[in-house]
Amino acid sequence: MRFFPWGFWLLCVASAPARGDSGGKARSCAEVRQLYGAKGFSLSGVPQAEISGEHLRICPQGYTCCTSEMEENFANKSRSEFEAMMKEAGRSVQMTLTAQHRSFDSYFQDLLNKSEKALYDAFPSLYGELYTQNMKVFKDLYSELRRYYRGSNINLEEALNEFWTRLLERLFKLMNPQYHITDEYLDCMVKHAEQHKPFGEVPRDLKVKATRAFIAARSYAQGFLVGSDVVKKVSQVSLSHECTRAIMKLMYCPHCRGMSSVKPCNNYCLNVVKGCLANQADLNTEWKYLMDSLVVVADRIDGPYNVDTVIGTIHMRISEAISNLQENKDSITAKVFQGCGNPKISTKGSSSEDKRRWGKVALEAKSSAQALEMLVLDAKGNLTALKTYWITLPGSLCSKKVMASLVADDKCWNGMTKGSYLPEVMGDGLANQINNPEVEVDITKPDMTIRQQIMQLKIMTNRLGNANIGNDVDFQDASDDMSGSGSGDSCPDDVCGKRLSKSPSTRQPETHAIPKQSGHGINGASSRSLPSAFLLLLSVAFIAAQHLWR
């Protein structure tokens, strides 16, 4: 008879209501069914009312409206939706940077085109055969300038020196048509050119100013493209397995628990997103350096290296140089003859064109300084606004995309139920996620794609630093500096494919993904007993009764 009280107690417990609510009636799953169907899934097999949730592997295992299939579908959906959020946020930054590049590039190219057109319009009437017979020399100069600006590996100083050399050779022949001037004689003449300064100070002055302006301009333009490309590649980085589970728990588990109208707690959302974007946040330091460097070079472009003054007047400087040579023709010729000897008299007679004195007309350049000033001001404003993009991204996604609740709200979804969220918010970056309560992050395995993009930012910032002080650099496309943007040569696929996640077949169970039901202070969660527990108690009671009857 000693078993009777125990068996009777078990029978009483087993026969108690299975749910903590007074009526014991399962709640309707109408809201979840509507959401599930709106996401494009079939409603076949979707519960009409809440069912037992011991099958759940991500959401809390209380009574639920989600089957295992629904949980898996919602997890995949949350992953694709979050990745889409990342790409959308990235596209906004990309559009800003590419728009700035397009504006400056259009302005700069227009300056160069107008200078070239002004030369083509004025030089035929000014210089006659000098221009018509040597048009290619001028065309080649502008062609080289454009190639340099676009990033070709050209030594700009050498290109300018080559232009002045070729121009001098042709001018010297035209100035002395009565002589037979051989290539060997021209080589000798060119060697003395630096000493005689046939074009005055124009070549040296233009070389100093033009190289600084072009170096700054092309580094500045390329900086926008590199920044845009980095954002694009980083925004395409896939979520880890752990992050997918955390995002699912954040975005869809409240729906499974019949809390469709409850918003996620803001701090809870921040911890999830900071954990998922830990590697991206590590871009912050180099990203800020790039934005700051672009601002500094922008000031140079509209200041000491003013591209409007330098680029827009190239044709005028060339005309000035030719005039200098014309005015000092006799003394320069005498010095060349003295250094290289008298050339032989040519048997070919000189034409009337040869004897003609070249015209000297003051060329004008239309200033677009105000347009440049506006471009720089607009760029600096946008660059300043983008400086903190990577560390403000989690907050932006939580408030604008996930629609998280207010920080102080105590009736928000905290990952388990409706209530306040107590854990502290993690810091930014990979190293600060070691104790993230929401996302399991392996801080020893940084994402290689993102590390490569950090290197791209460093390389571009270094180029801008050189441009700021007028130093030229070996300027290849950013993609040439690092091999690829994915796993790369230094990171095999079998390693990079496991960046922040373990193989599903070997990973350890996630204790945080299937939370305990007791000791959490959750209304309706700890008080609900599951049908499996009910059957267990009933079996024990039956055994006890058998012992009693014996």
pLDDT in tens, 146-172: 999 998 888 999 999 999 999 999 888
Average pLDDT over residues 18-42: 75
| Mean pLDDT of the region 523-541 | 40
Flag whether pLDDT at 411 surpasses 90: no
3-state SS assignment for residue 413: strand
Confidence tier at 175 by pLDDT (50, 70, 90): confident
Per-residue pLDDT, averaged over 128-151, amounts to 90
Structural domain of 314: 99-345+363-432
Do residues 151 and 222 make contact, with C-beta atoms less than 8 angstroms apart?
Answer: yes
The answer to whether residue 413 is domain-embedded is yes
Asked whether residue 69 is assigned to any structural domain, the reply reads: no
C-alpha torsion angle, residues 432, 438, 442, 446 (rounded to 10): -60
* pTM above threshold 0.85: no
Across 404-408, 439-443, 489-493, 508-512, which has the greatest mean pLDDT? 439-443
Confidence class of residue 271 from pLDDT cuts 50, 70 and 90? very high
> What tokens appear for 348 in the block?
């070919």
pLDDT tens-place string over residues 192-222: 877 888 999 999 999 999 999 999 999 999 9
Q: What is the mean pLDDT of the chain?
A: 81
Residue 239 counted as domain residue: yes
| Residue 288 tokens, joined | 């800020």
Q: Does a structural domain hold residue 85?
A: no
Least confident of 42-51, 176-185, 469-478: 469-478
Q: What is the mean pLDDT of residues 169-176?
A: 87
Q: Pick 496 or 73 by higher pLDDT.
A: 73
Q: Classify the C-alpha dihedral 31-36-40-46 as positive or negative.
A: negative
- Domain membership of residue 16 (yes or no) is no
Mean pLDDT of 322-341: 89
First to last CA, the chain: 9
Amino acid at 33: R
Instruction: Give the residue, 54 or 409, on which the prediction is more confident.
Output: 54
Amino acid at the residue 70: M
Q: How many domains does the chain have?
A: 1
Highest-confidence segment of 69-83, 123-137, 464-478, 483-497 = 69-83
Confidence band of 127 (pLDDT split at 50, 70, 90): confident
What one-character DSSP code corresponds to residue 259?
-
35 has pLDDT over 90: yes
Q: What is the pLDDT of residues 472-507, one digit of tens each?
A: 766 554 334 433 333 333 333 333 333 333 333 333
pLDDT of residue 62: 87
The reply to whether 29 falls in a domain is: no
Residue 305 has a pLDDT of 87
| DSSP at 409 | -
Burial letters 378-392, b for 16+ CB under 10 A, else e: ebbebbeebbebbbe
pLDDT for 403: 79
> In the 8-state DSSP scheme, what is residue 431?
G
Domain membership flag for residue 504: no
> Would you say 531 and 18 are in contact if contact means Cβ atoms under 8 Å apart?
yes
Give the integer Cα–Cα distance in Å for 43 and 29: 11
In a domain, 33, yes or no: no
| Buried b or exposed e, range 10-21, using 16+ CB within 10 angstroms | bbeebeeeebee
- The more confidently predicted of residues 542 and 11 is 542
* Res 348: pLDDT: 62
Percent of the chain residues past pLDDT 70, beyond the cut: 77
